[in-house]
Amino acid sequence: FQNPIVVGLEGTGAVSLDNSKISVRVCDLLGQPLPFPLTVTLESATRVSDGVVILSKKKFQPVASDKMLYTVFLLEGKTSETPGPYRLSVSAVPTSTQVPSTRFVGNVNVPLDVRIMATVVLAEPLLVGVADSDQLTQPKFH
């Protein structure tokens, strides 16, 4: 028989140059930790807009306080990256060779979507106008 493994994002999935840590949770279908150690790898991080791979074959680090949580810094060492949606491909395989990897399903090349956010600096003050949908009154600017 086969055992399904769940690999999912922990948190919002939004990163920036200031905080580029991505966390994934790896567990069984009941949300319980797996009884053996895993090697979790970011197989690739691909920009959705043009298909450019920005990172590949990077290992996630286990979090000591949570046996199901693994983290990696997506933009470590980078000074800039194009903001927008990215598709991660993550694999979680047993570290021990005594656990046959063929009995698991859903643990190889799992697609996860993240967003790289940008910081915007406005040179002039920003005005926001609020108006009714029927547009009978003038917008109120704040």
In this structure, which amino acid lies at residue 22? I
Res 18: pLDDT:
86
Number of H helices, E strands in the chain: 0, 13
Q: Note the pLDDT tens digit of each residue in 58-116.
A: 999 999 999 999 999 998 877 778 899 999 999 999 887 767 666 788 889 999 999 99
> How far apart are the C-alpha atoms of 125 and 59, rounded to whole Å?
43
Q: Note the pLDDT tens digit of each residue in 6-46.
A: 999 999 999 998 889 999 999 999 999 998 889 999 999 99
Query: Is the model more confident about 4 or about 99?
Result: 4
Q: What average pLDDT does the segment 124-132 reach?
A: 85
Residue 124: count of CB within 10 angstroms of its CB:
5
* Number of alpha carbons in the 13 Å side-chain half-sphere of residue 28: 9
Res 101: pLDDT:
65
Question: Pick from 47, 32, 45, 54: which is nearest to 90 by CA?
Answer: 45
Please report the domains of the chain, with CATH numbers, ordered by start residue: 3-141 (2.60.40.1930)
- pLDDT(129) > 90: no
> How far apart are the C-alpha atoms of 90 and 64, rounded to whole Å?
20
Mean pLDDT of the chain: 89
Res 126: pLDDT:
84
Res 14: pLDDT:
94
